[in-house]
């Protein structure tokens, strides 16, 4: 009876704690609701009041038109300042301020992405652990989720420190611009700060309460906290995105940059949602890559087979999650680019056909390398399984397809040439290779690459299994038919694109993407159903994988990091000489676009800096109280993500 009372008391306290917690989390939102950016009473009230009620000396409310939404609103903010090159607007050291800001921004972004992504993994894995019936397996999942959050905890402190450095860099080097931005986003920035406090609190309770909330109902409270944690994290990211989206595609202000009193218009600019989706998916892929690299590092330094087995498994799960988000990432990027074109065609042309086009070629190389590495890791991973040999013979054909598509994917449209070279070649485009530098060919290439990656995964799924369901021959035949016709369709659409006008051709990307996604969803789902109750040809022997595969994981993580740095630079530099596009001009001496070489060096520096510091974080993580990995006896049930076999 006494035990029951104690349990009941615990439950009540858990509910109270959760309620107080939720209240605290919602508090900033309530606080921000009544206040407009001006901090005054809503201005429209003044215009709707009868004229007689206004004091005689009251000035009429000036109204102006929103640059994007085209709605009228009361002018409640000052115009965007017209800056001049000097210590008032651009105080500086004997160094390019923009480069300092670049480093501070990029480092904060890397860590911010990481600490936003990892709790999402924790939530998923902890939940899988709860619903898994096998106790040993459930403990393994729980341990893995704990390992993930342990890594992110130290990184979280660094994120906050880097955020402070970024803020001071803005205040000291770009005070006028930052003053303008904060005058518009005042309530958003306050909410952001309060949410940051809430997230810190939630994260610490989530981490330190892990052991106390290990069993029963409290475990559900614990996993609920991870949901709250991720909701706050996502809202934080979206608020920060609203600032950069405003700088690129301003709204909620008039053509002079005067705030018109509608904070939702300022937040919800035309590029906000595409950036939100792209960043969320990108963060997940990046987070998966970093955790996989951590696991690879621990695998390579492991002293025992048990440790090696644990970190091999951890690396696989992290890679799996990362790749799950890598596959839709190009589509989210495509949507973002489409919206950029829709917002300002010139901006799209600068990005993909002008000044920054060569950076997209570098991006293509990175994306191709990511997919090649992923396939390589999966093929290496098949070494863990007896029975996988029967698929080895197909790998060489897949390599051929991937490399061919990779070459098409990175072929530039035009080349930088001397007049003599131009004359020798007969024009800007090579007579043969030039045909592969267009979007028709590239769309076909990348969709073929992704479809082949899906095929590799399906092969991996069934490497040590033989389907036993009665309809297996039919299922196999359908899988073969699906993939064969998918390849035919993707290549057909790519060729078809050469024979139809541009306005129709641009639409072909949608059926191509739909074809690839069909293979992903139908193929993987069908394969998973077929493998229910399948005959094992041998267990997955975790830890028995080549060292090369672990370097592949590190390569994946580095490629993600480099690509993030590159794409961030591209998105930011497309504003050219504007702080806020077409609203506030950048009059500093650095309002020019850097050379590709300089940008590449800066990105590499940022990547190196991040990896050096994250290694320090990994090392710090290993200093803490060590929880011995749960032993994974050879031949046990394979602990793989739910969607896998």
Select the span of 210-218, 336-344, 471-479, 634-642 touching another protein (CB under 8 A): 471-479
DSSP H helices, 249-328, are 263-267, 272-300, 305-326
Segment contacting another protein (CB under 8 A): 221-229, 374-382, 502-510, 619-627?
A: 502-510
CB under 8 Å to 56, separation ≥6 — which residues?
Answer: none
Total residues at interface with another protein (CB under 8 A): 33
Nearby residues of 332 by Cβ (< 8 Å), 6 or more positions away: 274, 277, 278, 281, 282
Report the residue number, 484 or 604, with the smaller CB distance to another protein: 484
Tokens found for residue 139: 């403990």
- Give the three-class secondary structure for 531: coil
Q: Min. distance of Cβ 489 from another protein in angstroms? A: 4
The Cα–Cα gap between 117 and 580 comes to 29
Residue 390, interface with another protein (CB under 8 A)?
yes
528 sits near another protein (criterion: CB under 8 A)? no
Characterize the bridge pairing of strands 578-580 and 535-536. unpaired
CB 466 to another protein: min, Å: 4
What are the start-end ranges of the H helices in 574-634?
596-623
Binding to another protein in span 474-493, by CB under 8 A: 474, 476-482, 484-486, 488-489, 493
The neighbour count for residue 249, using CB atoms within 10 Å, is 25
Q: Which is nearer to another protein, 515 or 606 (CB)?
A: 515
Residue 510 near another protein by CB under 8 A: yes
CB-nearer residue toward another protein: 321 or 531: 531
Nearer to another protein, 245 or 508 (CB): 508
Among 373, 515, 558, 588, which residue sits at the site for another protein (rule: CB under 8 A)?
A: 515
Half-sphere exposure of 266 (CA within 13 A, CB side): 26
Give me the helix-helix angle, 272-300 and 135-173, nearest 10°.
120
Q: Of 429, 390, 388, 432, which is closest to residue 412 (Cα–Cα)?
A: 429
Distance CA 313, CA 295 (A): 8
Nearer to another protein by Cβ, of 27 and 477: the residue is 477
Candidate residues 496, 551, 590, 605; the one interacting with another protein per rule CB under 8 A: 496
Nearer to another protein (CB atom), residue 417 or residue 500: 500
Residue (14 or 526) nearer to another protein, CB: 526
Q: Is 370 helix (H, G, I), strand (E, B) or coil?
A: helix
Shortest gap between Cβ of 342 and another protein (angstroms)? 13
CB of 515 to another protein, least distance (A): 6
Of residues 149 and 458, the one with the C-beta less far from another protein: 458
Residue ranges of E strands in 454-593: 465-466, 535-536, 578-580, 584-585
In the bound state with another protein, the residue whose beta carbon lies nearer, of 169 and 515, is: 515
**3-state secondary structure (DSSP) of residue 584:** strand
**Residue 640: CB minimum distance to another protein, A:** 20
Q: Is 507 in the site for another protein (CB under 8 A)?
A: yes
| Interaction of residue 467 with another protein, rule CB under 8 A | yes
Interface mask toward another protein for 537-556; x: CB under 8 A: --------------------
Residue 444 makes contact with another protein by CB under 8 A: no
Helices 439-461 and 389-409: angle between axes, nearest 10 degrees: 160
Asked if 101 and 170 count as a contact pair (C-beta separation under 8 A), the reply is: yes
Round to whole Å and give the CA distance between 223 and 205: 12
Q: Is 473 exposed, middle or buried (0-12, 13-18, 19+ CB in 10 A)?
A: exposed
Shortest distance in whole angstroms from residue 392 CB to another protein: 12
Minimum distance from residue 524 beta carbon to another protein (Å):
14
- Least Å distance between CB 122 and another protein? 36
Structure tokens at 578: 């504007």
List contacts with another protein (CB under 8 A): 390-391, 466-467, 472-474, 476-482, 484-486, 488-489, 493, 496, 499-501, 503-504, 507-508, 510-511, 514-515, 518
């Amino acid at each position: 009876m006494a035990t029951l009372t104690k349990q009941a008391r615990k439950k009540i306290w858990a509910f109270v704690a959760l309620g107080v917690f939720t209240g605290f989390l919602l508090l900033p939102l309530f606080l921000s609701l009544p206040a407009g950016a001006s901090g005054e009473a809503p201005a429209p009230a003044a215009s709707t009041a009868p004229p007689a009620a206004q004091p005689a000396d009251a000035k009429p409310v000036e109204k102006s038109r929103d640059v994007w939404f085209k709605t009228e609103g009361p002018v409640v903010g000052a115009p965007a300042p017209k800056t001049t090159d000097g210590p008032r607007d651009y105080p500086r050291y004997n160094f390019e301020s923009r480069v300092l800001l670049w480093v501070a921004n990029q480092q904060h972004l890397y860590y911010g992405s990481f600490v936003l992504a990892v709790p999402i993994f924790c939530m998923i894995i902890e939940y899988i652990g709860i619903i898994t019936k096998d106790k040993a397996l459930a403990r393994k999942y729980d341990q893995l989720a704990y390992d993930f959050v342990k890594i992110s905890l130290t990184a979280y402190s660094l994120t906050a420190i880097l955020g402070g450095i970024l803020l001071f860099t803005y205040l000291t080097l770009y005070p006028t611009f930052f003053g303008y931005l904060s005058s518009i986003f005042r309530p958003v920035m306050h909410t952001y700060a309060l949410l940051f406090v809430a997230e810190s609190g939630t994260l610490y309770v989530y981490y330190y309460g892990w052991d106390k909330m290990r069993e029963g109902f409290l475990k559900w409270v614990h996993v609920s906290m991870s949901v709250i944690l991720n909701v706050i994290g996502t809202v934080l990211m979206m608020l920060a995105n609203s600032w950069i989206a405003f700088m690129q595609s301003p709204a909620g202000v008039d053509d002079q940059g005067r705030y018109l009193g509608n904070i939702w218009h300022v937040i919800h600019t035309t590029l906000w949602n595409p950036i939100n989706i792209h960043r969320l998916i990108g963060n997940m892929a990046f987070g998966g890559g970093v955790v996989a690299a951590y696991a690879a590092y621990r695998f390579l330094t492991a002293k025992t087979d048990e440790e090696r087995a644990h970190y091999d498994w951890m690396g696989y799960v992290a890679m799996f999650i990362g790749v799950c988000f890598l596959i839709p990432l190009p589509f989210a990027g495509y949507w973002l680019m489409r919206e950029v074109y829709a917002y300002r065609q010139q901006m799209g042309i600068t990005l993909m056909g002008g000044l920054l086009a060569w950076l997209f070629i570098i991006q293509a190389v990175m994306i191709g390398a990511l997919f090649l590495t992923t396939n390589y890791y999966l093929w290496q991973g098949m070494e863990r399984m007896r029975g996988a040999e029967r698929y080895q013979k197909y790998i060489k054909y897949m390599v051929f397809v991937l490399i061919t598509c990779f070459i098409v994917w990175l072929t530039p449209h035009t080349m930088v040439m001397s007049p003599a070279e131009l004359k020798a070649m007969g024009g800007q485009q090579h007579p043969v290779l030039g045909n592969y530098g267009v979007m028709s060919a590239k769309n076909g290439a990348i969709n073929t690459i992704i479809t082949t990656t899906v095929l590799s995964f399906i092969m991996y799924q069934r490497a040590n299994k033989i389907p036993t369901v009665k309809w297996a021959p039919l299922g196999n035949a359908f899988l073969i038919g699906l993939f064969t016709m998918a390849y035919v369709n993707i290549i057909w659409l790519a060729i078809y694109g050469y024979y139809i006008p541009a306005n129709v051709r641009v639409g072909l990307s949608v059926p191509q993407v739909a074809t690839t996604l069909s293979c992903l969803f139908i193929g993987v789902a069908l394969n998973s159903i077929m493998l229910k109750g399948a005959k094992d040809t041998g267990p997955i022997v975790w830890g028995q994988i080549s060292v090369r595969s672990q370097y592949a994981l590190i390569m994946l993580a580095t490629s993600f990091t480099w690509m993030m740095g590159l794409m961030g630079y591209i998105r930011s530099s497309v504003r050219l000489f504007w702080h806020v596009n077409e609203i506030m001009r950048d009059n500093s001496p650095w309002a020019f676009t850097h050379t590709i070489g300089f940008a590449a060096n800066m990105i590499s520096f940022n990547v190196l800096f991040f990896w050096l510091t994250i290694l320090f974080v990994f090392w710090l993580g290993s200093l803490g109280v060590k929880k011995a990995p749960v032993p994974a006896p050879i031949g046990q049930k394979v602990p793989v993500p739910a969607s896998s076999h």
